[in-house]
Amino acid sequence: QVQLVESGGGLVQVGDSLRLSCAASGRAFTGYTMGWFRQAPGKEREFVAAVSRLGYSTIYADSVKGRFTISRDDAKNMVYLQLNTLKPDDTAVYYCAARGSVTTSTEDWEYDYWGQGTQVTVSS
């Protein structure tokens, strides 16, 4: 069992930056692939980024590539998502998720544990 708690969301202006954090508790955090997803009002949840166990590999959605960076600190049981050059389309609730596999995935149904989400609002 893994518990996930996100933080760091807020209201920002176009072009600003934010860093989202995800604190994980439970067993064997280092064995999990970690991902970030987001859901905007009236839209389906979509993949944002993922990092494999031990940080060996990362993948990103095309819409955030070059602007967002995912990282993990296994010593602290933390996962981060650095959001740069934010746009109004980035407005959403951002969710942290854990997948009990060594490989990354862009599919939300392949993730086993989810946090409660943190709101990011980008104002123009």
pLDDT in tens, the chain (124 residues): 899 999 999 999 999 999 999 999 987 788 899 999 999 999 999 999 999 988 889 999 999 999 999 999 999 999 999 999 999 999 999 999 999 988 899 999 999 999 999 999 999 9
Decide: 36 and 96 in contact? Cβ < 8 Å. yes
Q: Smallest Cα–Cα separation from 54: which of 69, 24, 26, 75? A: 75
What value, to the nearest 5°, has the Cα angle with vertex 89 and ends 81 and 10? 50
Give the pLDDT confidence score for residue 15 in this predicted structure: 97
d(CA 97, CA 73): 15
Compute CA distances 77 → 28, 34, 88, 94, 117, whole Å: 9, 11, 30, 18, 17
Question: Could you give phi then psi for residue 89, rounded to 5 degrees?
Answer: -65, -10
SS3 content of the chain, % helix, strand, coil (to 5): 10, 50, 40
Q: Where are the beta strands (DSSP E) in 14-105?
A: 18-26, 33-39, 46-51, 58-60, 68-73, 78-83, 92-99
